[in-house]
Amino acid sequence: MNSLSHKFVGALVGALALAGTIAPVYAQSAKPVEIMNVSYDIGRELFIKINEAFAADWLKKKNQTVTIAQSHAGTGAQARSILEGLPADVVTFNQVIDVQVLADKGKLIPADWQKRLPNASSPYYSLPAFLVRKGNPKNVKDWSDLARDDVKAVFPNPKTSGNARYTYLAAYAFGLDKFKGDHAKTQDFVKKFLSNVPVFDTGGRASTTTFIDRNIGDVLITFEAEVNAAKKEYGDKGFEIVIPSQSLLAEFPVAVIDKNVDRKGTREIATAYLEYLYTEEAQEIIASFANRVQNPKVLERHKAAYPAVKLVTVEDIFGGWEKANKDHFAEGGILDKVFVKR
């Protein structure tokens, strides 16, 4: 719908320009351009807004109509599609490893892609948070409650969802903290935590549906942004947000896909699109979707929406994504060991 209306406006502007009557400014306007942003599952609503704002900004500055095609799915599947030839201009993912694979397996981007933009190419961040039912009947306060026998938690399958990989690692990091670095005890804790999950959906949005529409589970664990969106969307159901004592910093890495933009001649606009995400205007939009941002002015305005939380990083606790992936998520890794029959 969005891209259609843009096309329509573009066509209209073009027609007027040809007629040369009303808007002489447009007479020299550049050819409309289309770029493709390949993104994560639950980023749809955010990027609809971002794309509108960016298109307006670009039209004002460069006098060129831009249409941004959006594609949203689990980032693992998205990365595979790009490796197999999906002509993405930029990726906006929620997983560093799924961008890294584009460098490692496809040589589509340089290995040091994270150095190209501020904050390790992550214009915003989030963290796994909890959504509980009205009145918090099971009194869930922290990760430790999720290993209780009477609590059922819903989140997607860590094997198929980046969102869930953060949840799994956040629980593991909490365990390490609680058991003072004892991996055996931590793994027992995580095993119990995983065995309390009644349904493993394949993606973040599906888990939200399971929790809300199917009425399954006592806690939904997903990004803070999704937790807030669900609470707002279903205001009448009185869901409550619980921020655990400690969580894991979830980066949202972005990258221009060099091989694709050079072939399509879209490098300038693709780069501008990602740089735009760091502007105050864009950060305001991003923050309004309950993602946490770095821009100090925007941060000040949304202070109330960001409860203080101790955030640990994959780098600090797990020695970086590559190592975390090998230790935990690869076949036969720790996840396979704790993800067993109940």
Which residue ranges make up the site for other proteins (CB under 8 A)?
Answer: 74, 76-77, 80, 101, 105, 157, 159-160, 197-202, 206, 213-216, 329-331, 336, 339-342
Tell the smallest beta-carbon distance from residue 236 to other proteins (Å).
16
Nearer to other proteins among residue 200 and residue 252 (C-beta): 200
Pairwise CA distance, residues 186 & 174, whole Å:
8
Nearer to other proteins among residue 17 and residue 77 (C-beta): 77
Calculate Rg over the CA atoms of the chain: 22
Nearer to other proteins among residue 49 and residue 80 (C-beta): 80
Nearer to other proteins among residue 76 and residue 123 (C-beta): 76
Tell the smallest beta-carbon distance from residue 101 to other proteins (Å).
7
Structure tokens at 258: 């060099």
Name 222's bridge partners: 129
Nearer to other proteins among residue 15 and residue 111 (C-beta): 111
Structure tokens at 255: 């990258």
CA 329 to chain CA centroid, Å, is 19
Nearer to other proteins among residue 46 and residue 219 (C-beta): 219
What ranges in the chain are assigned the alpha helix state H? 2-19, 44-62, 75-83, 96-104, 118-121, 162-178, 183-195, 204-212, 224-233, 258-264, 267-276, 280-288, 296-301, 314-318, 321-324, 334-338
CA angle 251, 252, 258 (to 5 degrees): 125
Tell the smallest beta-carbon distance from residue 55 to other proteins (Å).
31
Three-state DSSP state, 38: strand
Pairwise CA distance, residues 141 & 238, whole Å:
17
- The gap between the terminal CA atoms of the chain, to the nearest Å, is 46
